[in-house]
Structures are given as C-alpha cells and as structure tokens.
Structure 1
C-alpha cells in the first residue's frame, strides 16, 4: 500500500490489522460481515495499484465488507500464519475461515466479479432489492402452483426457479427443491436466498431418521451431556421456525464441548445463522458464539 494511501483520510471500512488486533478485528468481525485481508508492502509496485482500488470498493460497498490491510514487513507473524509467498495476496475471510483468495493486482472489474461471486454487493443496492423479496404467502401450496405456471410461460427465467425452490421448501418438498437449486446458473448459486435454502435443506436432511422432539428432550433431561440429542433437538426447533430455541441448544453444545464431532456446535450455529432471517437475533447469537469461542 503506498504511503499516500496510509496518510489519506480514514475510510471507516478500511483498517490496518496487527498481530495483537487480528483475532478481534478480522476473525471475530468476519462472523458478522466478510473481511478482505490485503497483504502488501511499501516496496511492492503491484500493491500500489491494487490497494487504492480495494479501498475505493470498500467505501463504495458501504459496509458490505471490510478491508483489513496487513503490512508484511511490519506484521511477519500474520504473513507467516497465512503462508504468504508473494504480494499482493488477498484473502476473503467469512465466519472465521478463509473462503477464497487471489494473488496479483486484479483490475476493478475482476475485483467486482470476485465480490459478486461471494454474494457481496453494495449496501445501497441490497437495500433497494429488499422490497422486491415479498413476504412468504399465507398458502405456500398456492404459491407453488402460481410459480409452476409462471415457469411454463417463461421457462428460461432462472429467478422463477429459485422462487419455486424456496416455495417448495415451505411445503416440505425438499427433494424437488434440491434439484432446482442444483440446476441454478452460477450467478444465482451464491445468491443469499440460495445459500439460505441450501442450509435449510441440510437441516431437513438431518431429521429424516431423527427421534421426535419429546424423545430428545427426555434424553437430554436424563443426560445433559448428550450432545447428539441436543443437536437434533436444535435442528427440530430451527426447522419448526423456533430459531431462538435452536440457537440455545447449539450454544449449550458449544459451552459443553466445542470440539464435539469436529466442531459441530460451531458449524451448526453458522448454518443456522444462514437460515434465520431475523438479523437482530442472528447478530445477538453471533456475539454470544464469539464470546464462548474466545474464552
């Protein structure tokens, strides 16, 4: 990153990450919003080309992601942890994990495509699109019929097929919904609604041979450390629409044994965050999860 960028007026969505702050400002923050981590150095020519574009996009996207700058000369520990071999290197961190990245100074158009591929869009555009997402109909079966007719009239309109998959999930037709989601084009495969629908399918599949909630509650009463029962009970709650009860079961799993079945408690919470549309509730439970993980 060029010196003039570092001394320019601060962008509220851009910050310099250090070894001391990395856990809180990057990993923990990525539980709430995506974080791009840009590894750079003052002697690096391509870094001077890439850095200003990334900062411009961070401001333009208005909080849809944050940009963490890591000076590899000043912060060799972070660079070593990420196994940086050349710069500039950029990683996308989400839910505490690296999900994608690239090396070299990409042009602005390719950077926008990279962000779009991961469902990251300018905050203003997302706000404008929100009203178009109508509330679920009172009768999901009627909505399925309406969408089937609409698809017959416009068979090449992929958005209608995504709408149909979502409606089918409301009726319990998970198999057909899954087939429709699998056939979606790449531009819709990372749509927030698609991600949420896939997470719902994952939860539904866990209940195929699961005991009913009453049996699971009895098992937990007899043995509070029965984390398999807690997991299935939490899934039952999520599928039934009682998100808070589901979150509480997954949090209790995390309190009792965060490493259970390869970090299943954390994975269950993250999957549930993708399903639940109540942003305030999700934010509250993300913070609770973060607090437990940092203990």
Structure 2
C-alpha cells in the first residue's frame, strides 16, 4: 500500500465542511472522525495507525481528521473532553466510538464490527484473518487487558459493552456506573445506558409467549404491549418492537405518564439502522402532532 493510496481515504475537516464531508458523505460511505491535536502524545501514535487502516480498508470507510485547536466549535458540539477521541458516523448518525489510543489489533476489531475491507480481508497483528470472537472470549480478552494496563480506563467501557453483549445486564450496569467522568458521554456509553434502561424493564417480566397471549385476549393491555416491545427490541426484532410502542402511542399516549414515547426515544438511541429510525420517528411525529 502506498502513501498515496492511504491519502485518498484521509482528509481534514472543519466547521465549514463538516456537514457536507462527514454527515452527508456518511450516507454512502462510513466516516471515521479522529479528534486530535498537534501537542497530543497519544494522537501521534493513533493517527498513523488510523491512516494506515484507512488505506488497507481501501474505501470501506474514510478518515476525517479534526484538529481540535483549529475547530474548537466542532469539538464543543461533540462534547470532546479528551483526545484522541474517535467517532464512527454512518447514515448521518454517530454509531460508535472510543477515547484514547487503542492497539492496532483492537482498532481492526472496532472497524470490522461496522465495515468490511473492499479488496480482501483485514488481518490481525499476526497477519491472519480476523475472526469474530464470542461474547465470553471478548470478556476474557478485555479483563486480561485491564489487568495488564489498569490505567487504560477506556477498557472498562469495552468490558461493560462485552458484558451487555453476553446478556450479563447487572455486571454491565455495575461497570457502566464505575466509569470515570470523561467516559460518561462517550457515544458507546450513552447507547449502553439506553440498552440497560430497556433491559431493566424486563426484570421479572412474563415470557414473550405469555405477553402475546395477553395481547390476543385484550388488545388494550398496554403493559403487555410495552414489555413485549422491549423483549422484541432486545431480541433483535426492532421493527416489531417499535410497532408495539407505536400501537400504545396511538391509542393511549398518556398511559403510564407517556411511557410509549419514552420507549421509542430510548429505542432510537440504541439502533444503527438510520432508515428504520427515520421512518419510525416520522410515524411517531405524525401521531403526536
């Protein structure tokens, strides 16, 4: 890979071109936004690795560089409290991100969760093709990394996400609550908080089959619709879950202090599908206004 090849996928961005070059451009190609500064030591390590990967992924994503000293308004808009901070924008929305300089292997794992290289497959540090790990493997790997580098607080957020992925809600919640203040507004932490709020609603809840039976018996069983919507959403059937919340919003918008609207807003913050979210936002708005 030549430097020229990498450079075609890397560009600088400021306030005057952010909307066009990042938000609009992300509708067709994911944009990885790197908030950095010339005086930042970790940025000097992370930046070249990101540029290298941008070349290797060959257009699967583009790397937008934001110098926080030259673009303070952008940094403030995104609540940047430490650098480097990296955010992935797809379909006009932030879908993931991290703070701090990660090793190249973890950068590859992060990218492969969202994009695939255009020509060939991204390899790990040993030159082997990266393989999707199980939730349990991820937890073990991250715990070992924390033991080796306890000063890397961003690993604690990685652990909380892995625990949620494994379905260990209580442990994920405990890790999230223990995060340092600088990670509290990380996009991944915000999303995880919404997921945990939804998961918490299912504690002691009836099974999906029982909830469906209750709704068949009484279409106005709003509690059953609410819990069924949460179950469907967390089980990966987002559209069916959102439909349950909309049904309540349409017929009983004030039920339980407007809970259907709250559920919809929480659900939107956990979903990556911008088209689906946009469609259901419009449906929600049509019912409310």
Normalised by the length of structure 1, the TM-score is 0.59
Verify: 1:196 aligned to 2:174, yes or no: no
Structure 1 pair 242–127 and aligned structure 2 pair: CA distance change class (3 A): closer
> Pick from 211, 215, 218: which aligns with 1:216?
211
Provide the C-alpha distance between the structure 2 equivalents of 1:236 and 1:175, rounded to a whole number of angstroms: 17
Q: 1:135 aligns with which of 85, 107, 113?
A: 113
Q: Which runs of 5+ in 2 are unaligned?
A: 1-13, 25-69, 98-106, 115-131
| Partner residue of 1:174 out of 162, 169, 172 | 169
Q: Is the CA contact (8 Å cut-off) linking 2:211 and 2:225 kept in structure 1?
A: yes
Q: 2:256 aligns with which of 261, 282, 291?
A: 261
TM-aligned CA deviation for residue 162 of structure 1:
1.0
- C-alpha distance 260-193 of structure 1, shift in aligned 2 (>3 A): same
Q: Distance in 2 between matches of 1:250 and 1:257?
A: 10
Q: Offset of 1:121 from its aligned partner? A: 7.3
Work out whether 1:227 is the aligned partner of 2:222: yes
Distance 1:277 1:152, change over 3 A: same
**For residues 174-226 of structure 1, what are the alpha-carbon distances to aligned partners after superposition, in whole Å with 9 as ceiling and x for unaligned?**
12211211222333211221111111111111111101111111111111111
In structure 1, how many angstroms separate the alpha carbons of the residues matched to 2:221 and 2:201? 17
1:287 aligns with 2:265: no
How big is the shift at 1:134? 3.9
Shift of 1:255: 0.8
Structure 1's 265 and 115: CA in aligned 2 closer, same or farther, altered over 3 A?
A: same
TM-aligned CA deviation for residue 133 of structure 1: 4.3
Say if 2:250 is the partner of 1:241.
no
The alignment's TM-score, normalised by the length of structure 2, stands at: 0.60
Question: For residue 178 of structure 2, what is the aligned residue in structure 1?
Answer: 183
Q: Taking structure 1 as reference, are residues 226 and 184 closer, same or farther at Cα in structure 2, changes over 3 Å only?
A: same
Secondary structure at 1:117's aligned position in 2? coil
Q: Computing the radius of gyration over CA atoms, which structure comes out larger, 1 or 2?
A: 1
After superposition, the Cα gap between the structure-2 partners of 1:121 and 1:153, relative to the gap in structure 1 and judged at 3 Å, is closer
* Contact 1:147–1:163 (8 Å) recurs in 2: yes
Once the two structures are overlaid, the 10-residue window that deviates more, 133-142 or 234-243, is 133-142
Displacement of 1:113 in angstroms is 5.3
